[in-house]
Amino acid sequence: MTDTVGTKWIICKEQILEAIDKKTEEVLPADNSKGTDYVKVLLKEFSRFRKAVEERRIFPLDNDGWRYSIVVRGSGIYLYLEYMLPKKLGIREKEKIDEQYEMISCKAELLKVEEYAELYDITHVAAVTRIRRGKIRSAVKVGKEWRIPSLAEPVERGYKSAVYSWHNRLSGLPNRYKIIEDYQQIEFFQDEEKFSVYHVRMTGTGIEPLEFVCDREKRSRIEQVLISHPDVICLSDEIMRIDRV
């Protein structure tokens, strides 16, 4: 979801702080779609993020394609420096991110499963089940136990398509998933007609894409392996993006 607060790209520290203030003061208090408890967590994390921005030296941009973006993920709130490819003339096409650099990383508090369950009024079993089914994709494995960031969205019913990515060759995967090591990205899509069927596409550098379909159980097992791996990032775990004022 992209939050277009205004029409101008964010190009300086003052505009970053302005965008944070607008979001916290105008939008979040009125957003009850995720529940009051989640809004409180968002407000707390935005306060921490604002302080991190205030303490950091951030150079103004000349707006020749570069901008700053604030991205809220289940794992935390991030400030990115991005270079945008211009729209092609005569073609209906949005700007695309060509380069992206992480400037500030404000990680959300990691909660024990029982703490997360209590915070959002669900059972311990329900929280663990959602992790295993690939519904809480920002969860991390600490030893043999799961931890869930406080910003991980309370999961709604249904399945949301996912994209997982990593830079270096993965290691430590179970034998049945060793083939994944040859790729750098995996996408999951639910079939539009048969909801129990999922389409999987694996891509990588110098290798032909691999596509296959699987059932819910197999898709859940693969996603759980990816979620628990420290080198894998879920690119579709984006809750909110603010890139304009």
pLDDT digit string, tens, across residues 131-152: 888 889 999 988 889 999 999 9
> What distance in Å separates the CA atoms of residue 137 and residue 145, rounded to the nearest whole number?
15
Q: How many CA atoms lie within 13 A of 231 on its CB side?
A: 12
Residue with tokens 């000349």: 62
Average pLDDT of the residues in 238-242: 91
> What distance in Å separates the CA atoms of residue 131 and residue 162, rounded to the nearest whole number?
14
Cβ–Cβ under 8 Å, residues 46 and 20: yes
62/17: higher pLDDT: 17
DSSP conformational letter for 108: P
Per mean pLDDT, which range of 28-32, 42-46, 138-142 is the poorest? 28-32
Q: Where are the domains of the chain?
A: 2-109, 111-237
Cβ–Cβ under 8 Å, residues 191 and 185: no
Q: Is the pTM of this model over 0.95?
A: no
Residue with tokens 């990816």: 226
CA 17 to chain centre: 22
In the predicted model, is pLDDT for residue 195 greater than 50? yes
> What distance in Å separates the CA atoms of residue 76 and residue 106, rounded to the nearest whole number?
6
Structure tokens at 231: 């080198």
A 10 A CB-CB count for 212 gives: 10
In the predicted model, is pLDDT for residue 153 greater than 50? yes
pLDDT, mean over the chain: 88
